[in-house]
A = this chain, B = another copy of it.
Amino acid sequence: MSRRQITGFSNPTVKALRALRDKKHRKAAGKFLAEGLRLLTDARESGHLPEVLVMAEERDPHPLLAALEADVLAAGGEVIETTADILSKITGKDNAQAVCGVFAEFDTGLAALDRSKAKIWLVAQALRDPGNLGTMLRTGDAVGAGGLILIDDCADPFSAETVRASMGAIFTQQVAQARWEDFLPWLRGDAGQLVAASLRDAVPYRGAPYAAPCFIMVGNESRGLPEDYELACDLRVTMPMKGRADSLNAAVAGAVLAYEVLVALGG
């Protein structure tokens, strides 16, 4: 166990932590940041402890923070106390939370997924917006999904914005990353229904013949899904579009479908 204080902006640890805001450095280090007592408590209660816990010296005492600190030290992690200014520098936010943690990135290989664990899985293809990605993780948690599978070039699931938008679901949902040409054979290697909202040869989303494990796929924010991805689906469904637009926000479409599938598969 280890515990220390840092007061200098140019301290190499501060630089290393700050660099985790950048995707390239996150990949190289295999680590990511999560901010705020609520998020860190969600992580802890889901069995994830930070390797490094960084706390503001001027923080208000809180039993959950004390518990977190004790657990991190007991697990051999490091606890750093620093100034509010340095915390702001690390997180890049003017009003930084009084605490942040550094976590090891999770294994995001498809092989780590056990599809029998849940009736619903969410799939996103080339989803570029970290807020949408975090929102999908949060929705997945709400509907009891097993996790989120990111196809092709999606936003980084470990960015601060995704982690924040997930409201802790980054710690409860499994995340996998795969190219389409690897995902499809994996999917077909066992039972699994691939479903997408589509305008091509589709049935109404309400009352469609959903089957578990059901993989609900949404596409890129601007372009939607490529045609061949849609055609590879086992079930294409349409949702009512009463206005001018012919599509919903990707995270919204995924959520409306996910709640429909949840009901269809018996809650």
Contact = CB atoms under 8 A, between A and B. Distances in A.
A154 interface: no
Interface residues of A, number: 36
Contacts of A66: none
Residue among A141, A247, A256 with the highest chain B CB neighbour number at 10 A: A256
Interface in A151-168: 165, 167-168
Given A46-B244, A243-B172, A244-B172, A249 B144 contact: no
A252 interface: yes
Contacts of A252: 135, 138-139, 251-252, 255
Contact of A244 (B42, B206, B240, B263): B42
A143 interface: yes
Given A249-B165, A256-B259, A243 B142 contact: yes
Contact of A242 (B142, B165, B256): B142
A131 interface: yes
Interface string A189-231: 0000000000000000010000000000000000000000000
A84 interface: no
Contacts of A256: 255-256, 259
Contacts of A251: 135, 249, 252
Interface in A246-267: 247-249, 251-252, 255-256, 259, 262-263, 267
